[in-house]
Each structure stands twice: as structure tokens, then as C-alpha cells.
Amino acid sequence: MKYSTPGYRIFTIFNISFMALLGLITVFPYLNVMAMAFNESRDTALGGITVFPREPTLYNFKVILSNSAISQAAIISVLRVVAGTILSLIVQVSAAYAFTKRSLWGRNALLLFLILPMFFNGGIIPQYLLFSKLHLLNHFLIYILPGAFVFYNMLIIRTYMYTIPESLLESAKIDGANEITVLRRIILPLSMPIIATITLWTAVLNWNDWITTLFFITKPKLYTLQFIMMQMVRENDLIASLIEEAIKHGQVTKIKLTTTPEAIKSAQVIITTIPIILVYPFLQKYFIQGVLIGAVKD
């Protein structure tokens, strides 16, 4: 009955209107960048582009994709996301399952040891010296090994595992299952919501990160797509060189050239964000269930 009252209807209308306005404010900048990426740049310079291109073109993307450095960086980024996410899940799920065992010797001391770096960090210089001693500088493993274990993610997974009935695990052990079998056959299938959530967190972090390349990589062949995008956004000279290289390779002729540095930036933003946007809807349904159950323990 309360859902049919005038006050509730007014609140519903206001709530829907507010959320629609907030969604429009959030989405509009991205749609505007997409419209500029697909629009003829000389027409874009006239202004007035909103969310639809007036003169559609693919030349901006041709300039980017015709550059060998972009292709190499895309491969490095994809490999980093795949390898980094898989290794991170293996390490964090294994650690979380181990920390659910009350019989683990020194468990509290280990947790205290691991939680301290969350609040006290040595800074970039000690980190650089450590990676140098480990011979990780200018090596692909610099993208994978340092982020293989994230204490916060491990805690979320561990808390979620606590919701699985202990009697279920004891029954499996009575039937002869060892710890690895229990983890693989029982824990993992029942923990898919939180695993999907952590997978997306880790993949997005690996995909978007360019700080690691800036500090620890000097070899161009190991540059990531996001690092090159950062350079493009900051350095118009690099964008101009892309246009010149595209002309040399015959991808764009001087007569047909319809791209500018601003258009290249817009196209690069679209290329680097589309993969995450395409993956997110498939994992989004796990977010509320995974995060809430993983973050709250009765």
C-alpha cells in the first residue's frame, strides 16, 4: 500500500530523473570523444560536435593502427592482462584458502606481516633498487610479478570462503579428498562470484597501468598501449610523427588526410577503453554479490 502513496510516487520520479541526469553527465564526455574520433577532424575543428559525428571517417584509426609501435604495444598490453590476471588469481586464491585454515602455523603473525605494507610504503626509490637487484628492469616480468599478490584482494576472497559451510569441506575430506581437490572441486566453483569480481579488478588494473612502464621500462618494444597513449596525449610531436609515418606507408595520403593530433588522441582513447567496456557487462552481475559477501563476515 505504501508504494501507491503520492509521496512514494514523487520520490520515484525524482529518483529516476536524478539517476538519468547523473548517467547522462557521466556518459556524455565519452560519447563526445567517440564522436570526435569517428569524425573528420577539419570538421571537428569547426565545433559543435556532440555525440554523433557529422562527417564519419575511419582515417583517425588507420593512422594509429598503421604504426608498428602501436601494434607491438597492444600485444604487450594483452599479454600483460592475460598473464598477470591468471598468475594473480592463482596466488591470491591459494593464499586465501591457506589463511582460512586455523591450523596454519603463525597465521596471525603472517597476516600482520602482510598488512603492514598497506599502510607503510618505502617509496619508489627502494622499489626501483629492489627491482634492479632482481633484474626485473626492462623485463616483461616487471608487469606480472610485483602485482601477483594484493593483500586486500586476498582478504576479500578469504572472507568470501568463510561463507562456505565447513561441514561441506569435512564431508569431502572424509570421502578421501585432499586440500588441492577440495580447493579445485568445491571452493572454486562456489567462489565464482568473488573470483569474477577480482578478475575484473585485476584485469582493469593491468590494462590501465602506465606508471610501471614510465618508471621501470626504457625499451620501446616493452611499452604498453596505455603508456603510448599517455605520450600521445602529452606530446603532439609524437602524434605528428604518426601522421607522417602513415603517409609514408600509404595508409593516408596528403590529399585524403583528414586527421589532426586532437583526432588521434580521441581515437586512441576509444581503442584503449573499448576492451574493458566490452568485458564489464559480462562480469558486472557478480559485483554486488561478490563484493558484499566478500567484504562482510557474520
pTM: 0.76
118 and 22 both lie in a single domain: no
116 and 76 both lie in a single domain: yes
User: Is residue 294 within a helix (H) or strand (E), and if so which, with residue range?
Assistant: helix 285-295
225 and 109 both lie in a single domain: yes
71 and 26 both lie in a single domain: no
pLDDT digits (tens, 9 = 90+) for 32-53: 888 888 888 777 777 778 888 8
33 and 152 both lie in a single domain: no
Query: Residue 59: CA atoms inside 13 Å, Cβ hemisphere, count?
Result: 23
- Cell numbers placing 259: 586527421
33 and 157 both lie in a single domain: no
90 and 229 both lie in a single domain: yes
Quote the radius of gyration of the chain (alpha carbons, Å): 25
121 and 168 both lie in a single domain: yes
Contacts of 123 (CB under 8 A, 6+ apart): none
78 and 25 both lie in a single domain: no
d(CA 234, CA 242): 14
Total count of domains within the chain: 2
End-to-end CA distance of the chain: 33
Position 275 pLDDT exceeds 60: yes
- As a whole-number percent, the residues of the chain with pLDDT over 70 amount to 84
Predicted pLDDT of residue 244: 64
- Cell numbers placing 39: 569524425
Position 267 pLDDT exceeds 90: no
Position 255 pLDDT exceeds 60: no
187 and 257 both lie in a single domain: yes
Highest mean predicted confidence (pLDDT) among 116-120, 122-126, 130-134: 130-134
Q: Look up the domain containing 224 and give its range.
A: 58-295
Return the CATH number at 271.
1.10.3720.10
50 and 130 both lie in a single domain: no
35 and 135 both lie in a single domain: no
Is residue 213 very low, low, confident or very high in pLDDT (cuts 50, 70, 90)? very high
Position 110 pLDDT exceeds 50: yes
Mean local confidence (pLDDT), 127-134: 90
